[in-house]
């Protein structure tokens, strides 16, 4: 089967499964709504901040506060895109039609990643503009130094979260097992490792902690992170590449 036919087939699979469409919609709604709420709360609490906190007040990053929950929907999307076929048994039919397993996997990832990027970049811009509207006089502008980079970075972050999840799902095959590992990892373990002093230096190199740096315009006074916004995104890209490589190697080695 030609590569264009494989890509078209994967696009049909993704848009015909209601659960994948719904999870993308949920990612949009949760990210924007929570970002607006946190922006309103931050505006109301601004006068209570210390002088140091006012200096490092980052209105751009505040508008992306909803990413913490929105990324969970992106994780579900990434897992479902890959593991749905294992769950239904359609994987055997798919691999019979596309015996080149690398073509099969990376066509699936390419189509899903493009869709995640379009949704992610749109979500990031809307979350930014609505968040800044809620912040009122404390808002940032798109033309301010570092702001456009942070907004585009928000879309890239959501895309990479979905792609990383696809790689993990390709390795584990089971949607329940994949979600059972990814959800606690991103929602609990990563946050704990990143906020406990003994493990903070390890936590900052995890994919979400490193990748979220791209959305920051200002850093706290006590921030001693050894990389900048693009360096953090690079670390996240490396994690994603490793996950996808692992998925490809295991897909090549084992039976469907």
Q: Which of 78, 90, 85 is nearest to 116 (CA)?
A: 78
Q: Tell me which DSSP letter residue 98 carries.
A: -
Question: What's the confidence (pLDDT) of residue 91?
Answer: 77
Say how many domains are in the chain.
1
Give the pLDDT of residue 220: 77
Across residues 188-205, what is the average pLDDT?
86
Mean per-residue pLDDT for 13-37? 90
What's the pLDDT at 141? Answer: 94
What residues have CB less than 8 Å from 99, skipping those under 6 apart? none
More confident position, 255 or 75: 75
Whether the per-residue pLDDT at 12 is higher than 60: the answer is: yes
Buried b vs exposed e over 176-186: b needs ≥16 C-beta within 10 Å? eebbebbeebb
Q: What is the pLDDT of residue 136?
A: 92
CA proximity to 73, closest of 118, 108, 120: 120
Centre a 10 Å sphere on the Cβ of residue 82 and count the other Cβ atoms it contains.
26
Amino acid 1: pLDDT: 58
Q: What is the pLDDT of residues 56-93, one digit of tens each?
A: 899 999 999 999 899 999 999 999 999 888 877 777 77
Q: What is the mean pLDDT of residues 213-224?
A: 85
Domain of residue 242 covers: 3-253
Q: For the segment 98-109, what is each residue's pLDDT rounded down to a tens digit?
A: 778 888 888 899
Task: Check whether 52 has a pLDDT greater than 90.
Answer: no
């Amino acid at each position: 089967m030609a590569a264009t036919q494989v890509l078209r087939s994967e696009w049909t699979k993704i848009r015909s499964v209601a659960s994948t469409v719904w999870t993308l919609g949920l990612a949009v709604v949760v990210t924007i709504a929570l970002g607006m709420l946190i922006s309103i709360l931050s505006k109301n609490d601004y006068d209570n901040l210390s002088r140091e906190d006012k200096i490092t007040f980052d209105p751009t990053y505040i508008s992306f506060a909803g990413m913490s929950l929105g990324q969970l929907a992106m994780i579900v999307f990434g897992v479902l895109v890959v593991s749905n076929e294992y769950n239904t048994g359609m994987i055997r039919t798919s691999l019979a039609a596309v015996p080149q397993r690398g073509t099969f996997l990376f066509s699936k990832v390419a189509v899903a990643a493009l869709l995640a990027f379009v949704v992610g970049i749109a979500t990031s811009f809307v979350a930014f503009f609505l968040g800044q509207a809620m912040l009122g006089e404390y808002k940032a502008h798109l033309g301010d130094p570092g702001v456009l980079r942070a907004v585009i970075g928000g879309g890239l972050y959501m895309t990479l979260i979905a792609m990383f999840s696809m790689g993990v799902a390709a390795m584990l095959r089971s949607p329940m097992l994949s979600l059972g590992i990814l959800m606690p990892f991103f929602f609990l373990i990563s946050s704990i490792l990143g906020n406990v002093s003994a493990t903070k230096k390890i936590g900052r190199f995890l994919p979400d902690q490193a990748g979220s740096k791209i959305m920051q315009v200002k850093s706290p006074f006590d921030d001693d992170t050894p990389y900048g916004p693009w360096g953090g995104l690079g670390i996240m890209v490396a994690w994603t590449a490793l996950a996808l490589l692992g998925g490809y190697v295991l897909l090549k080695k084992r039976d469907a």
